[in-house]
């Protein structure tokens, strides 16, 4: 008789989001869960982990002949969960504390904990950063940290909600190694839009319009070319010839003059008005710091940053930010509007409006936001939907400079293509676009910067990128 645990979901429904969800999940089995934005994937994860109660239906934990009602299960011991926003999940004041937290609760002695923390930090590429605050890490580094800390507890079941989305290929490989090591004893549920990742699972579940379909073997499912899988093509292909290209002006708009931001980033470079610069590099290399420097979130410790002819300083930050549009990593964490409409049309809603105009509805739909979402609070949206709201808000009043930090995170393939086409078609806007996937930017970028260890290791024209393909690949970029 098998001693492995099995989770059984029978007829689970939740409000108008999920309807009659039923499937079994065995300890040691890897499931991939896919579905378009807003289909209820993260809601299902929160139900399984016990963060929200089901409207109807039942979840049971079974081991052999013994069945335990879900209300009696110590869920924190049975299920580990990495959400779309790992910023919310860190507990320790340092990386070492975060990695040690669960190990201490397992009752391990201090020396064993120290040895294990050192080993984990090395495995996930955070060696030397053990004394840093998790808040000082990049989004990808936080994903690695939280995933490793939870897997160290050896939970029977583990849910990863877009948990590899912020990682370069090498950082992904580190986490995949941890997942593979845990595979025999831990049931894993990967919520993803990445068909390449989903193919590595044992079974593929697809959630659409509140209902779930078990497609069985993922590789066979994707070979079937069924319409239900149209959202999950990982490759993005938008032709540059089908977009409106911006006119480039030789006059500089951004100039880093022997500028340093502590030990995080050093720059001595210039960007001209109207340029589209793709910024790539490994997790934690300084890409996000570069964007934050333009927005004035970090100020130079050495040198100066000249913005549109004037040196950036505290007195200029507020006026300058009004000329910027920016979508930061984990954009959904930064939404402050009471409703979707309030977030997107903040500048337009100086006076109360009872309804949106046709132009406003059309604008929302351009970013995959149907009108019925206008009065919802952003917190109640899916991660992908919040990403769309952040993009729409940034683009509402066409900015002088647009800063995009992994803007397609959490978006299904159809939405990615639509939003890329919109970004590509901008005219006269200087765009800095951070990504781990060169395929997202080759249709429109003028230049590509490869950042490594806080410095620009490569600055090439888009037309030259294939000459440096191996350099990009060695840095973990998809291309």
pLDDT of 265-309, one tens digit each?
Answer: 999 999 999 999 999 999 889 999 999 999 998 999 999 999 988
φ, ψ of residue 402 in degrees (nearest 5): -115, 120
Least confident of 32-36, 204-208, 316-320: 316-320
Tell me the pLDDT band of 235, cut-offs 50, 70 and 90: very low
Question: pLDDT tens digits for 413-461?
Answer: 888 888 888 888 888 899 999 999 998 999 899 999 999 999 999 999 9
Decide which of 249 and 146 is more confident: 146
* Mean pLDDT along residues 117-128: 92
Domain 5-230 has CATH 3.40.50.300: yes
* Predicted confidence (pLDDT) at residue 90 exceeds the cutoff of 50: yes
Q: Based on the number of CB atoms within 10 Å of its own CB, is 302 exposed (0-12), middle (13-18) or buried (19 or more)?
A: exposed
* Mean pLDDT along residues 118-140: 90
What is the Cα 100 distance to its own chain's centre?
25
Degrees (nearest 5) of the Cα angle 392, 17, 189? 90
Question: CATH second-level architecture of 240-474?
Answer: 3-Layer(aba) Sandwich (3.40)
Average pLDDT of every residue of the chain: 87
Tell me the pLDDT band of 242, cut-offs 50, 70 and 90: very low
Query: What percent of the residues of the chain are helix, what percent strand, and what percent coil, each to the nearest 5?
Result: 35, 25, 40
Numbers of helices and strands, H then E, in the chain: 15, 21
Decide which of 379 and 289 is more confident: 289
Res 224: pLDDT: 73
89 vs 414: CA distance, rounded Å:
30
Res 1: pLDDT: 44
pTM of the model: 0.83
How many residues does this entry show for the chain? 479
Res 456: pLDDT: 96
* Predicted confidence (pLDDT) at residue 240 exceeds the cutoff of 50: no
22 vs 360: CA distance, rounded Å:
39
Question: pLDDT tens digits for 202-226?
Answer: 999 999 888 999 999 998 888 776 6
Res 478: pLDDT: 87
What residue ranges of the chain are covered by domains with CATH 3.40.50.300? 5-230, 240-474
Question: pLDDT tens digits for 402-421?
Answer: 999 988 887 888 888 888 88
Decide which of 148 and 411 is more confident: 148
Percent of the chain with pLDDT over 90: 50
Res 229: pLDDT: 62
């Amino acid at each position: 008789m098998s001693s492995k645990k099995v989770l059984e979901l029978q007829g689970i429904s939740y409000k108008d989001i999920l309807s009659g969800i039923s499937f079994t999940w065995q300890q040691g089995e890897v499931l991939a869960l896919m579905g378009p934005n807003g289909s209820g994937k993260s809601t299902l994860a929160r139900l399984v982990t016990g963060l929200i109660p089901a409207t109807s239906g039942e979840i049971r934990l079974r081991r052999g002949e013994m069945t335990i009602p879900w209300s009696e299960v110590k869920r924190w011991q049975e299920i580990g969960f990495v959400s779309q926003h790992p910023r919310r999940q860190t507990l320790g004041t340092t990386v070492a504390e975060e990695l040690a937290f669960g190990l201490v609760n397992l009752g391990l002695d201090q020396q064993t904990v120290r040895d294990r923390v050192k080993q984990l930090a090395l495995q996930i590429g955070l060696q030397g950063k053990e004394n840093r605050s998790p808040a000082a890490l990049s989004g990808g580094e936080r994903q690695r940290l939280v995933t490793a800390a939870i897997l160290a507890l050896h939970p029977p079941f583990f849910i990863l909600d877009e948990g590899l989305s912020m990682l370069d290929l090498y950082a992904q490989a580190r986490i995949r190694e941890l997942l593979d090591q845990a595979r025999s004893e831990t049931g894993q549920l990967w919520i993803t839009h990445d068909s390449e990742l989903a193919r590595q699972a044992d079974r593929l579940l697809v959630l659409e319009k509140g209902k779930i379909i078990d497609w069985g073997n993922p590789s066979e499912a994707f070979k079937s070319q069924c319409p239900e899988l149209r959202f999950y093509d990982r490759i993005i292909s938008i032709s540059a010839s089908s977009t409106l290209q911006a006119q480039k002006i030789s006059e500089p708009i951004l100039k880093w003059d022997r500028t340093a931001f502590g030990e995080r980033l050093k720059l001595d470079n210039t960007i001209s008005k109207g340029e589209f610069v793709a910024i790539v590099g490994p997790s934690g290399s300084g890409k996000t710091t570069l964007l934050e420097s333009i927005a004035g979130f970090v100020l130079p410790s050495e040198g100066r940053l000249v913005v549109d002819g004037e040196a950036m300083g505290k007195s200029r930050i507020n006026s300058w930010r009004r000329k910027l549009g920016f979508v930061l990593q984990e954009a959904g964490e930064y939404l402050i509007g009471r409703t979707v409409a309030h977030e997107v049309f903040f500048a337009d809603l100086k006076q109360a409006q009872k309804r949106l105009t046709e132009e406003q509805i059309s604008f929302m739909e351009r970013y995959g936001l149907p009108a019925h979402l206008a009065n919802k609070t952003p917190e109640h949206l899916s991660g992908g939907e919040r990403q769309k709201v952040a993009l729409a808000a940034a683009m509402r009043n066409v900015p002088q400079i647009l800063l995009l930090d992994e803007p397609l995170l959490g978006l299904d393939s159809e939405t990615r293509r639509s939003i890329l086409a919109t970004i590509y078609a901008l005219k006269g806007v200087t765009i800095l676009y951070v990504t781990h996937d060169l395929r997202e930017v080759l249709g429109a970028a003028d230049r590509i910067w490869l950042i490594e260890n806080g410095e620009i290791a490569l600055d090439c024209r888009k037309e030259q990128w294939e000459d440096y393909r191996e350099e990009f690949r060695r840095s973990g970029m998809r291309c």
